[in-house]
Amino acid sequence: MSSTCQNLFDYPQSSFVGVVKDGFIIVREHWKPLLIISLLQMVSVIGVCIVLGIFMAVAFAQVFADIASAASNMQPSDMGNGRHLVEYMVGSGTTRVLDYMAGGGNDNQNQMSNINVEAFSDIMIKYGAQIVVMSVITILIVSLVVSTFVGAMAHTVAEAYSGDTPKACKSIRFGWSHKWQIYIYQIITLFVLFVVLVSSIFVGIASDNGFVYFLIMLAVLAFIIFFGTVMVAAIPVIIVEGKSSIGAIRRSYDLCKGEFCFIFCTVVCLQLSLLVLLIVINMILSIFPDVIAILGHLGINILLPVMGPVLTFVLYISIRIRNENYTRDDLCQELSGHAATAKELKLGAYKRAEVV
């Protein structure tokens, strides 16, 4: 293992720059297993989406056909305008045709557009249940696939901190063994956010007051920010400490509530930096040929899923080092599953010494 990764425990980070620096050190030193895991995640998600797409295309063929028909009618193409003109001519007579050709057909075009929008809305209402079912199925299955690889990346970073050389196969097996805990945690998180959003919408509609609805939306935004901040450490807790989904939520809250400002500022700075970086990269790639631009965007899509779990784990470890005097030996024991045994042995030794 490189000396730079060995020193990560010596300087726990407490700033955005420090967290990013440690994250890039880990990615630089162990990019191979992280890249393999990220590529496998992308391939797995694409494969699952293709299978789901085929299944849903067969199971919900009529839904897609009606939506595609409504969408095609809303396209402002020459064919669509010509069809509207023919319908207008047949139904209204020559005099109104002349008005249409002289520019008086704008009202009719607007009317046809409104009709198409209403038709699309009717389709959404008619097939609302099926669309919800398709969305839920997609989210559940994709979340299950992603949970394995998110856990694998967290394990890779944990091994980098512990002093071992991370291996993609070992990390994927470890992530697979913890996939249900991560998956249930993700489902609980999505369910909580869904309930909060839906409840706020119903309360806002019932109040029938724009100002009250605005205040409710601000409260929802504040809750999402708070909830997302205190849950940052949940997945590292599952991987390192072996907690259950509910236990990870409690543990993450206990760890992060005292470091709220540090975590929140780090995440906000990270998102803003990422936004600026993507804008600059897109501007640069637009200069090059399409092939190079596509490869560049593909590389970004592979790198971004890596940086998220890495920086999240750096936050988790930094908080534990500063607040719990966490050491590399503690991490090694927790990863090997012998932390509880070690504590019991220490307690037993203490009792024996006391008796003597």
Q: Does any domain span residue 281?
A: yes
Is residue 235 domain-resident? yes
287-331: per-residue pLDDT in tens? 888 888 888 888 888 788 888 889 999 999 999 998 988 888 899
Q: Do residue 119 and residue 161 come from a single domain?
A: no
pLDDT class of 74 with cuts at 50, 70, 90 = low
From 126, 155, 179, the end of a domain falls on 126
pLDDT in tens, 270-292: 889 888 988 888 888 888 888 88
- The pLDDT score that the predictor gives to residue 346 is 41
Length of the chain counted residue by residue: 356
Same domain membership, residue 180 and residue 88? no
Domain boundary among 95, 126, 157: 126
Same domain, 234 and 107: no
Model confidence at 66: pLDDT above 80: no
Task: Give percent of the chain with pLDDT exceeding 70.
Answer: 73
Instruction: Please check whether residues 160 and 265 belong to one and the same domain.
Output: yes
Decide: helix, strand or coil at residue 51: helix
Are 296 and 181 in the same domain? yes
Q: Is residue 333 part of a domain?
A: no
Specify whether 116 is located in the same domain as 184: no
Residue reference for tokens 């091994």: 159
- In this structure, is residue 339 part of a structural domain? no
| 114/26 same-domain check | no
Residue 19 lies in a domain: yes
Q: How many domains does the chain have?
A: 2
| Three-state DSSP state, 231 | coil
Which pair of structure tokens corresponds to residue 11? Answer: 């300087």
pLDDT bin (cut points 50, 70, 90) of residue 4 is low
Angle at 333 between CA 330 and CA 338, to 5 degrees: 135
3-class secondary structure, 207:
helix
Q: Report yes or no on 345 lying in a domain.
A: no
CA distance 45 to 145: 7
**Which amino acid type is present at position 166?**
P
Do 157 and 89 reside in the same domain of the chain? no
Is residue 308 domain-shared with residue 197, that is, in the same domain? yes
Domain edge (last residue) among 71, 104, 126: 126
Q: Do both 200 and 243 map to the same domain?
A: yes
Residue with tokens 């930094």: 318
Distance between CA atoms of residues 48 and 175, nearest Å? 18
pLDDT tens digits along 210-234? 788 888 889 999 999 999 999 999 9
Q: Is residue 336 part of a domain?
A: no
Q: Given this model, what pLDDT does residue 118 score?
A: 60
Instruction: Please report whether residue 340 resides in a domain.
Output: no
Within this chain, do residues 221 and 282 fall inside the same structural domain, yes or no?
A: yes
pLDDT band at 354 (very low <50, low <70, confident <90, very high): very low
The confidence band for 75, taking pLDDT boundaries of 50, 70 and 90, is low
Range(s) of the domain holding residue 317: 11-54+130-325
Examine the domain organization and report whether 206 and 68 are in the same domain: no
Q: Extract the tokens encoding 343.
A: 């504590």
Return the residue matching tokens 């620096």.
21
